[in-house]
Amino acid sequence: MARAATAFVCESCGSRSPKWLGRCPACSAWDSFVEEVERPVPAPGAPARRGGSATPLPEVTVEEGRRLTSGLPEVDRVLGGGLVPGGVTLLGGDPGVGKSTLLLQLFGHASREATALYVSGEESLAQVATRAKRLDVASPGLLLLSETSLEAALAEAARLKPALFAVDSIQTASTEALGSAPGSLSQVRDCAVRLCEFAKTTGTAVVLVGHITKEGTLAGPKALEHVVDTVLYLEGEKYRHLKVLRVQKNRYGATSEIALLEMTSSGLKQVENPSAALLADRPVGQPGSSIGVALQGTRPLLFEIQALTSPSAFGMAKRMSAGLDRNRVQLLTAVLERAARLTLGDRDLFVNVVGGVEVEEPALDLPLCLAVASAYYGKPIPQELAAFGEVGLAGEVRGVGAPLPRAGEAAALGFKRCLLPSSDLKRVGRHSRGISLEPVSTLAEAVETLFG
Ligand code: TYD
Ligand code: MG
């Protein structure tokens, strides 16, 4: 055996270096390198490990369709139907957002039909049991273990042979094979790899809970996201009851699906009408508020976008945004100035997607621009109007696809008018679903229509 070497690994992107660096050349993070002891490599000439033999494709057996469901259809939809036996799911989120609650609910439901082992490294058995009582989870098939040693947890899992196995959280688990502290990159990665091996060899559905660091990434994000099959993020502000479960990666289903959940005194409940929940408390007749239709995965959702402009203090106009990409906001501000002749250079601009949800879809460009124009002119947008469309640099409004589902969702929520890109309307014709579809080709035209 050769000597075990040490290397330095960037905690934010996983890139490696033989010596410590102050700034990561790959992801530009400062002070992110930590020392890691590498596994001893087998000496050259050592006998090669014997692998399995290859199988012709038609002979590979696939167990179709078996999914372990959570009892929350919205969560199952995000998972692509439920947890998959042999699949590894990473559930990430800020501390206190509700990861342990969601996991316990999921396991509580699934353990009615199959054995589930929940290993908590953060809480005592009594704490987990108290929460389970609150969540009304009382299945004898749910087994609890308070343990931080990976080896001990795996030994118990090997003995019990559960169908579901969870480690809450991966940052508290540690393996005796490494000397580094729990939560360090090497520990987190090594534990995750070992748990993946366990899932694949035994066909157990494994869930790992991962905390997000203060920079907003899972500790060792690249390393973990690559080894697991599914990455879920539970988002939402700590003191707000609305939470969003988002799928970042899924080998067993579609990505970019989201589920809206509500934290109640008896755990997480799914929000039955997400668009209506997102539009609750919408100000009526106030300038600076617009409704956009964004596609989240396969489902259209209505979002309220708010904008506020005020004269800037020191000649340096501020651009702040919550829920939308700030660069996009800056770009669209420039387009509004050029194409719609708004003077925003001496004004601060604040934009916000109501509900604490992050949305990336370009379809919200048009409603965002309309909200800004509405705030600028001090004129409200008609209450019964929704909009969607991408805005290009020349001020053109570009098609975003799926016009009918989007207009349908707006109609279902009682909207009577929908501004949409002309090219999207051409594709569907004037299918009216109790909503008047109003095509626009340029941003200037849309602003002119609404604010004259
Ligand atoms: P928790 O699931 O422990 O968060 P995490 O594991 O992500 O750190 O709990 C999140 C918060 O939810 C906690 O502050 C208490 C609250 N909560 C409820 O409001 N209702 C409930 O039924 C439960 C179990 C927790
Ligand atoms: Mg927890």
pLDDT tens digits for 291-320?
Answer: 999 998 878 999 999 999 999 887 788 899
Residue having the nearest C-alpha atom to atom 9 of ligand 1 = 98
Parallel, antiparallel, or unpaired for β 205-211 and 164-168?
parallel
Helical spans, DSSP H, in 19-171? 73-79, 99-110, 125-134, 150-160
Q: Of 34-38, 81-85, 177-181, where does the model show the most confidence? A: 81-85
User: Strand 33-37 to strand 6-10: parallel, antiparallel, or no bridges (unpaired)?
Assistant: antiparallel
Domain identity same for 302 and 218: no
Tally Cβ neighbours within 10 Å of residue 33. Answer: 23
Is residue 261 included in any domain, yes or no? Answer: yes
Q: How many residues does the chain have?
A: 452
**Tens-place pLDDT, residues 225-243:** 888 999 998 988 766 788 8
Task: Find residue 264's DSSP bridge partners.
Answer: 267
Please tell me if the CB atom of residue 421 comes closer than 6 angstroms to any atom of ligand 1.
no
Q: Considering the domain boundaries, does residue 54 fall inside one?
A: no
- Whether the per-residue pLDDT at 113 is higher than 50: the answer is yes
Range of the domain at 12: 6-37
Least confident of 123-127, 176-180, 272-276: 176-180
Supply φ then ψ for residue 310, to 5 degrees. -150, 155
Q: At 4, which amino acid appears? A: A
Are residue 197 and residue 282 in the same domain, yes or no?
A: no
Kind and range of the H or E run holding 194: helix 185-202
| pLDDT band at residue 34 using 50, 70 and 90 as cut-offs | confident
Residue 58 lies in a domain: no
* Radius of gyration over every alpha carbon of the chain, rounded to an integer in angstroms: 25
As a whole number of angstroms, the distance between CA 271 and CA 243 comes to: 10
Q: Are residues 218 and 315 in the same domain?
A: no
Q: What pLDDT is stored for residue 1 in this prediction?
A: 47
Residue 59 forms part of a structural domain: no
Using the mean position of ligand 2's atoms as its centre, give its distance from the Cα of residue 397 in Å. 44
Domain termination site, one of 216, 240, 272: 272
Task: Tell which of 248, 272, 296 closes a domain.
Answer: 272
Shared domain for 113 and 160, answered yes or no, is yes
If one counts the domains in the chain, the total is: 3
pLDDT at site 38: 66
pLDDT tens per residue across span 86-104: 999 999 988 888 999 999 9
Same domain, 288 and 237: no
For residues 283 and 382, membership in a common domain is answered with yes
Instruction: Tell me the C-alpha distance between 303 and 294, whole Å.
Output: 7
Inside any domain, residue 53: no
266 lines ligand 1 (CB under 6 A): yes
For the cut 50, the answer to whether the pLDDT of residue 146 exceeds it is yes
CATH number for the domain that contains residue 181? 3.40.50.300
Question: Mean pLDDT across the stretch 407-411?
Answer: 91
Q: Are residues 128 and 21 in the same domain?
A: no
Residue 49 lies in a domain: no
Q: What is the CATH number of the domain that holds 375?
A: 3.30.230.10
Tell which one of 101, 232, 241 to mutate to probe ligand 1, the residue whose CB is within 8 A of the most ligand atoms: 101
- Mutate which of 263, 266, 268, 269 for ligand 1 pocket (most atoms within 8 A of beta carbon): 263
Give 300's strand partners: 295
Q: Which helix (H) or strand (E) holds 406?
A: helix 403-412
Give the whole-angstrom CA distance, residue 85 versus residue 83. 7
Q: Are residues 220 and 248 in the same domain?
A: yes
Q: What is the pLDDT of residues 277-289, one digit of tens each?
A: 888 888 888 999 9
Q: Mean pLDDT, to the nearest integer, of 72-79?
A: 90
Same domain, yes or no: 247 and 297: no
Which atom of ligand 1 is least distant from the CA of 102? 2
- Residue 1 domain flag: no
Q: Give the chain's mean pLDDT.
A: 87
pTM, to two decimals: 0.80
Distance 95 CA to ligand 2 centre (A): 7
pLDDT at 4: 58
Ramachandran class of 65: left when φ > 0, alpha when ψ lies in -120 to 50, beta otherwise: left
The answer to whether residues 167 and 199 belong to one domain is: yes
Q: Could you tell me if 87 and 168 lie in one domain? A: yes
Alpha carbon nearest to ligand 1 atom 16, residue: 98
The answer on 342 and 205 residing in a single domain is no
Q: Note the pLDDT of residue 347.
A: 93
Is the residue at 378 inside a domain?
A: yes
